[in-house]
Structure formats: structure tokens, C-alpha cells
Amino acid sequence: MARCLLLEKSNVKEFLDSFDTILTDCDGVLWEGAADYPIPGVPETIQQLKKMGKRVFYVSNNSTKTRAEYVVKCQKLQYDTTEEEVVGSAYATAQYVKHTLGYKGKVYIIGSSGIAGEFDAAGIPHFGVGEDGWNGRGLRDLLDIKIDPEVKCVVVGFDLHFNYVKLFTAQQYLSDPECLFIATNTDSALPAGGGGILPGTGAIVSAVEFSTGRQATVCGKPHNPLGDILVQQHGINPKRTIMIGDRLDTDMALAHNCGMRGLLVLTGFTKLEDARRLTASNSIAHQKQIPHYYLPSLVDLGKLITE
């Protein structure tokens, strides 16, 4: 069982020898919220790990960006990367729909341009991203909305324009039991920077689930589609992989679900007491979120390496 051990001088060598691949969460590990600067010292730590021969992949539940847009953000914040090293939840979702489900038909999307971009790249036709064009007409007019009979898949992600019209439209498509229902991720909250919290994609997915009585298949962390992509496309060996993250229910749970080990850092969403509370719980779901290790910041790993 994972025990949430502090990484320190006495166990860091054993830790470093135990993996050759790193999956790192982005927000809360590499940078904070919308900040356009990195968490101090972390770019240098990632460089140190790469120099030691570790492969690094960037994995994020943020569905608002394509892989190409992540590369731009990473480069700006001093993380040297390529598209192949980035797996965002929008990319994971488009790949899952295309390759795992083999669906290439039309998709109704509640989401933003990152999802649209990844479905374009996968060659899957879609609509729904952006404002709904409803212009505040009345409730009765909803029934005039044209439902496209070719749509057999609804994808839900983060959408600043999410509203009742979009909820109604998704419900219409999903009333067909053959229509696929896929979500990018179900994060409960988003860090807004400066300690603020915003409702996350999970709140939008829950609204669609509640109104349809159906449950979405989720592609992002902690669910397997994201991990499967890394195994299938990059041949990573989960037993020799460490997942670094700031959340228990997404990052640390992904580590457990995919048979990796998890390193929690305290520069984001989670406080040490939250992780410690899990170690005292008998619930299997809680035990599957316990970090194997923790550090105040990823920069502390860099310090342990140079000591």
C-alpha cells in the first residue's frame, strides 16, 4: 500500500533508480493557474531529470488547449517540449473516440477550441463549440432546435458558454441510447490563482449526466484512456513510470489505476493533511489516491539530486 512518504536524502536514490519515465501534471506542478511564469526552479529540475536520461511527458486535464498550444505555453514558461510529449484531455478524448471506439461520424461538442482543434486534427466532423446563437428566445422555442440525425456522439468538456440551450441540445442527442457520451475530464474545481477556486468541468458533465440519467465515459486523469495512449503510442512501462501531480483524485488516482507510482507536490490543489487523511481511511477508493511519495515542491527533488 502507498504510504505518502516524504522524499529525502535517505530514499531519493532508490526513488530515482525506480523509474525511467515521468508523467507530470501541468497546472499546480509546473505553473500556477493562469500565471505566465513557472514555479521557481521547476524548469531546472525537469532539465536535471532529462539529463539523467528520464523521459518526460506532460499530462493535463485542461481541455481548452490543443497539444500544439501546450507546446507554445510550455516553451514560454521554460519547459522545452514537443507535441509528442504532451497528452491533454482534449487530445486523449479525440484519440479515444477515433481509435478505441472507431467512431468517425459527427460529434456534438460542449467545450472550447482545444477540443475542436483536436477533433479537427483527428479528421472527425463536429459542431457546438462557441456561443449557442440562441439570443435569449423563449423556452418554447427550444423545441425548434434542429437535431442532426447524423450525430451519434456527444463530447463534454470545459465550456465558458455552457448554458441551458446546450444542456437541452445534449439531452436531445443522448435520449438515443446508441449515442455515445464522452467527457474530457471531471475535475471538481479549477484553481483560479491567488487561492481562488472556480467550478471545474465535472460540474458541467454532472449537469448533462443528471438531465439524461446517463453516465459519461471519461478520458482524462484518473481514467485509463489517457494512460493507455502513453502505453500504446509511446510504449511506456507503467512499472517504471512515476506520475507527479498536485491532486489526489486525478493525478494520484491515475498512478494507481495504471499501475504507476505517484509523487504528490504541495504547490497546487492539495494540502498534506488531505493526503494524510486518506492514509487513515479504510475505503478502497481513498486508498487508491494515496501518494507513494510527497514533496513540498518539485524543486525540492532538484535540490536532493544536487546535494
Among 69, 85, 159, 246, binds Ca ion (CB under 5 A): 246
Q: Using CB distances below 5 to 8 A depending on partner kind, what does residue 64 bind out of Ca ion, ligand PLP, none?
A: ligand PLP
| DSSP code per residue over 211-245 | HHT--PEE-STTSHHHHHHHHHHH---GGGEEEEE
Residue 25 bears catalytic tag: yes
CA of 36: how far to CAs of 30, 267, 300, in Å?
A: 11, 16, 21
Using CB under 6 A as the binding rule, whether residue 190 contacts ligand PLP is answered as: yes
In the chain, which residue ranges form alpha helices assigned H by DSSP? 9-17, 42-51, 67-76, 89-95, 113-121, 164-174, 201-212, 224-234, 253-257, 272-279, 284-287, 299-306
Among 17, 20, 25, 187, the one annotated catalytic: 25
Using CB under 5 A as the binding rule, whether residue 249 contacts Ca ion is answered as: no
| For helices 67-76 and 113-121, angle between their N-to-C axes, nearest 10 degrees | 120
From the CB of 107, what's the least distance to Ca ion, in Å?
26
Among 21, 24, 27, 166, binds Ca ion (CB under 5 A): 27
Closest by Cα among 53, 63, 28, 54 to 42 = 28
Residue 176 bears catalytic tag: no
130 close to 176: Cβ distance less than 8 angstroms: no
Dihedral angle of Cα 288, 293, 297, 300, to the nearest 10 degrees = -170
Using CB under 5 A as the binding rule, whether residue 28 contacts Ca ion is answered as: yes
From the CB of 201, what's the least distance to ligand PLP, in Å?
6
The site string for ligand PLP over 130-159 (x = CB under 6 A, - otherwise) reads ----------------------------x-
Using CB under 6 A as the binding rule, whether residue 249 contacts ligand PLP is answered as: no
Q: Using CB distances below 5 to 8 A depending on partner kind, what does residue 158 bind out of ligand PLP, Ca ion, none?
A: ligand PLP
From the CB of 63, what's the least distance to Ca ion, in Å?
13
Among 2, 4, 12, 28, binds ligand PLP (CB under 6 A): 28
Q: In angstroms, rounded to a whole number, what is the distance separating the alpha carbons of residues 237 and 122?
A: 26
Tell me the catalytic residues: 25, 27
* Site residues for ligand PLP per CB under 6 A: 25-28, 60-62, 64, 158, 187, 190, 201
